[in-house]
A and B are shown apart, each in its own frame.
Chain A
Amino acid sequence: MQKGYQLFFAILAVMVVSWLGLVVFPQIQLGSQSTREVKEIGRHYPTEPGSLVLNGRKVYQQAGCVACHTQQIRQSGYAFDLVLNEVGDFPEIITSKLIEAGKLAGIQVTNEKAQEQMANLPSTFLEARSFDVVQDVLKIFKDSGATVVADILPLGPDIERGWGPRQTVGLDYLYHQPLLMGQQRLGPDLANVGVRLNDPQWHLKHLYHPRSVVTKSSMPAYTYLFDVQPIGEEPSPHALALEGDYAPEEGMEVVPKPEALALVDYLLSLKIENPVFEAPYMFTQAEPGEANNAKMEQAQ
């Protein structure tokens, strides 16, 4: 070992470089994040989970859900919807501009089609795959009196499956401690399960016997989260309404244990339901129903 000190410094350098790259820089990049006001929902996001949700997360860990379910929505690309919101004072000019915009995107827009688009406002007249096209189209409509807006559409297999409206980003996991992101997708992704499947009764039935609600499910039955007990003087209010092969014997009922209720509460708390700056999507247009309801309530 004549060159021992060289070896020592070489090993030290390798360790320092990996420590900087894997620990220090990620900490600087993402570690100091905190909740942030999201203007679309008018409150801070994300919110701290309650104690029942935290208990549910423990059950989630104990039951090993993370082995087969991920909690991360991926996004492979994005496109734009170009929306005509207002026509303005010169409809003839807008007609020709719509045709011109169609040419840019390689679509034949006829006069009648342009008229139709202008009659049904707001109308999505173009889906553009590149931001350059968007900028060119916005340039065409500049100073024409019309209001044209580009709305972003996240793309990717996960989003096509309806697993979520956008990709998940670091901010979404602020209160995920420990992080149960998962690696294998033997079952569907759960990042947005609280929005996709918001019925607690469905979740309880699914945990007790997955095949009772999803015929082809390969998920094991978590019967140990439930008590099968004789029906007392009055049936339990929490008893599951099971039918057919999955129903318990005569005079018996299936009642969820507190663990099952906590787990369902945790699942329902998993929501990706608002855009954030780093993962935008068109929020107001995606849920016109809710906005209208809110307006009607205000009016009353």
Chain B
Amino acid sequence: MSSKPKKSKQFKKTSNDREPGVSKAPISVIFFVATVLLAYWAMMELNTRAGGFNRYVYGPYESYKVVEAVQPGSGDDPIKRGANIYRNVCSPCHQASGMGAPGQFPPLAGSDWVNVEGPNRMLRIVLNGLNGPIDVNGETWNAVMPGFGDVIASDEDLAAVISYVRNSWTNEASICTPEEAAAARADSGDRGRAWTATELLTLPLEVQ
């Protein structure tokens, strides 16, 4: 007799929010914590091993950067080498985008001094600097650029950075070889003073 009202009482209590016969059981704290930890671990695994879900990344290579860096012959590509030098030496003024700064530093991207047949005039500017007014893409700039002949001491590096500038952004021009760089350096000799645009225009485009 005593069990009957109890049963109905229980049914009444559960009828609002639970299936009949299901007793109330709170989610255990351990289960909740374990789920959160599992989710955290899974996210860490995806973060370190999924290669950013990039289609070019297959194990054992960890990320796109690694795949890019391990391409055969790395270290020998003048453009890559030049990019490093540009970042350190040139980008403070001419900017990483090659756009320069309005009124201060002329652009290299799309410049009519860069997109020419030979690298001769560019080499001279980098070696000994430039002083005075210069027309770039129809606009006149008046600024001073110091020479970087001592900073970029190796001919390979000099050729690399020129090649990088001539083949970056929208620029499309020939690669500068270390031989050309060496010839321009030898020809400049101990000039010791900056070029002016008028002087440069008398020089041939190609290195002689």
Contact = CB atoms under 8 A, between A and B. Distances in A.
Interface of A: 2-3, 25, 29-30, 33, 75-78, 80, 85, 131, 138, 143, 145, 147-152, 167, 169-170, 275, 277-284
Contacts of B156: 145, 147
Residue of B60, B67, B71, B75 contacting most chain A CB atoms (<10 Å): B75
Contact of B60 (A33, A78, A138): A78
B96 interface: no
Contact of A152 (B53, B54, B71): B71
A260 to B, nearest CB: 35
Interface of B: 19, 53-61, 66-67, 69-76, 153-154, 156-157
Contacts of B57: 278
B19 A2 contact: yes
Given A30-B55, A131-B70, A279-B58, 16 more contacts: A75-B59, A76-B60, A77-B60, A131-B66, A131-B69, A147-B76, A147-B156, A148-B75, A149-B73, A150-B73, A150-B75, A151-B72, A170-B55, A278-B58, A278-B61, A280-B71
B68 to A, nearest CB: 8
A152 B53 CA distance: 23
Contact of B70 (A152, A169, A170): A152
B65 to A, nearest CB: 10
Contacts of B70: 78, 80, 131, 150, 152, 280
A80 B76 CA distance: 15
Contacts of A150: 70, 73-75
Contact of A149 (B60, B69, B76): B76
27 contacts: A3-B19, A25-B53, A29-B53, A29-B54, A77-B60, A138-B75, A143-B153, A147-B76, A148-B75, A149-B73, A149-B75, A149-B76, A150-B75, A151-B72, A152-B70, A152-B72, A170-B55, A277-B67, A277-B71, A278-B55, A278-B56, A278-B58, A279-B58, A280-B67, A280-B71, A282-B72, A284-B72
A283 B74 CA distance: 13
For A25, A150, A284, the residue with the greatest tally of chain B CB atoms inside 10 Å of its CB is A150
B55 A75 contact: no
B55 A149 contact: no
A63 B58 CA distance: 32
B102 to A, nearest CB: 34
